[in-house]
Amino acid sequence: MLPLIEKLNLFSVVLASQSPRRTELLKNLGLTFQTFSPEIDEEDHNLHHSPAELVCTLSVRKAEKARDRFQHHLIIASDTTVVSEGKILNKPGSQQEAALMLNSLSGKTHSVLTGFAVLLPGKDEPFTGFSETRVTFSSLSHNEIEAYVVTGSPLDKAGAYGIQDGMVSAFISGIDGDFYTVMGFPVNAFYQKMKSILL
């Protein structure tokens, strides 16, 4: 096991997310934790923040909400957003909205930003970071978009797609940056930040 993960596992760790992607990525590192889904208001904040500030701010809010319940734990929280042509694309509210989002991504390059926040026991100030990855979609037909939307998978994902979904592998022509940032957690950025703090 990696020395940093051994050290993290000395804490009681809470992942402030029910995302199966984030759970999978952190378990793959060897981290032991429990999950908790904090309820926060994620709307109307994008008018006041850059996308990078937004994902970090929302990550901090999730972590602080989790601390209300888990006061003596190490808390990890994260947030992902998609930015296309200056517009932030969060989770679609319907299949129709998902189809519109995917159509707007068709044949273009967009950015996926994932931020994280870590609250250590006994520390008031969170540690934060983020990663940005550029993703290029090939041109998508109406039928291709419809075939993916009807699976229901786009509805719980920023930008209306999950890079780990098998069908999406046929849509992506290029990735510039960290794959795991697009999947939902910037593993390398988190790992390097925690190394600088704990080792």
- For residue 48, the model assigns a pLDDT of 67
Give the domain ranges of the chain: 3-198
In tens, the pLDDT along 103-125 reads 999 999 999 999 999 999 999 99
Is 178 assigned a catalytic role?
Answer: no
Instruction: Pick the catalytic residue from 79, 156, 165, 178.
Output: 79
| CA proximity to 61, closest of 121, 116, 132, 101 | 116
Instruction: Give the separation between CA 197 and CA 199, rounded to whole angstroms.
Output: 6
Q: What is the mean pLDDT of each run of 10 residues along the chain (199 residues)?
A: 97 95 97 94 66 94 95 96 94 96 98 98 95 98 98 95 96 98 97 96
- For residue 41, the model assigns a pLDDT of 74
Was domain 3-198 assigned CATH 3.40.50.620? no
Helix axes 95-105, 142-149, angle to 10 degrees: 140
Whole-angstrom CA distances from 20 to 25, 109, 162 are: 9, 26, 12
Centre a 10 Å sphere on the Cβ of residue 107 and count the other Cβ atoms it contains: 12
Beta pairing, strands 87-89 & 127-137: unpaired
Per the prediction, the chain carries an average pLDDT of 95
In tens, the pLDDT along 52-73 reads 999 999 999 999 999 999 999 9
pTM to 2 decimal places? 0.93
Of all residues in the chain, the percent with pLDDT exceeding 70 is: 96
Exposure class string for 32-50: b at 16+ Cβ within 10 A, else e: ebebbebebebeeebeeee
